[in-house]
Amino acid sequence: MTITELVQHAWAAGSAARLDGIKRLGTSATVPDYYRFLFGLCRVIEARRILEVGTDYGGSILAMRRAIEGDEFAIVTVDITNASDQQLASYPEILKIQGDCRSRETISKVLGRLSPGLDLLYIDTEHDFNATMASYAIYNSLLAPKYLVFDDINLNDEMRAFWQVMKLRYGSCAINAVDVVPVIRTHPQYPGFGLIAP
């Protein structure tokens, strides 16, 4: 399957997903379509081990959790804030680590739950070049994910520069999923949604 086909299959699998009750930014607003894409991607690649860096209110990780069927899986999400605590309280199977994703303590906790051969690494953090590159470098080298997703790759100049580095590094294995299925991120700023399938 090509990466373009992967995006299409993921969208097809997630577009009709039941994601009731998942909140974005602490509101009851409509579920964002990128949550549906993440659900579909996890379903298509049969993800069982997921690391999210940048939890915010927890909507993305809950969408990915709902895609997993069965009991054998490991899901970890990391954020410096506790904004997701209320929404994640009913999901004890998701390990939420509060702390700096690049600190030794946090990395040690992540490695205590996940091992190399990670199915999906999803990074949605500070949206600047150095922070995103550092998070990528740490967890990519330690966990060797099969798939990587980066949110907001067109949000600002630093994220555009980061994505250019990823495109140079991964070539045709790196794609902005929004270029294939525009509805994934219809925000007027066109923040983008980068997928890498090495």
CATH number at residue 133: 3.40.50.150
Task: Provide the Cα torsion 68, 74, 77, 83; round to 10°.
Answer: 70
Banded model confidence at residue 185, pLDDT cuts 50, 70, 90: confident
Concatenated DSSP letters of 23-81:
-BTTB-PPPPHHHHHHHHHHHHTT--EEEEE--TTSHHHHHHHHH--SS--EEEEEESS
Per-residue pLDDT, 86: 83
**Rounded to an integer, what distance in angstroms lies between the CA atom of residue 116 and that of residue 144?**
5
- The mean per-residue pLDDT over the stretch 184-198 comes to 87
Banded model confidence at residue 82, pLDDT cuts 50, 70, 90: confident
Q: Is the per-residue pLDDT at 28 higher than 70?
A: no
**Rounded to an integer, what distance in angstroms lies between the CA atom of residue 137 and that of residue 178?**
24
Helix (H) or strand (E) holding 153, with range, is none
- Quote the number of domains for the chain: 1
The string of pLDDT tens digits covering residues 111-140 is: 999 999 999 999 999 899 999 999 999 999
The string of pLDDT tens digits covering residues 9-18 is: 999 999 989 8
Secondary structure class of 16 (helix, strand, coil): coil
Per-residue pLDDT, 129: 97
E-only strand ranges, 87-162: 94-98, 120-123, 147-151
Per-residue pLDDT, 187: 75
How many Cα atoms within 13 Å fall on the side-chain side of residue 36?
21
Residue among 49, 198, 71 at smallest CA distance from 115: 49
Q: Which domain holds residue 101?
A: 3-196
Neighbours of 20 (CB within 10 A): 7
- The mean per-residue pLDDT over the stretch 154-172 comes to 97
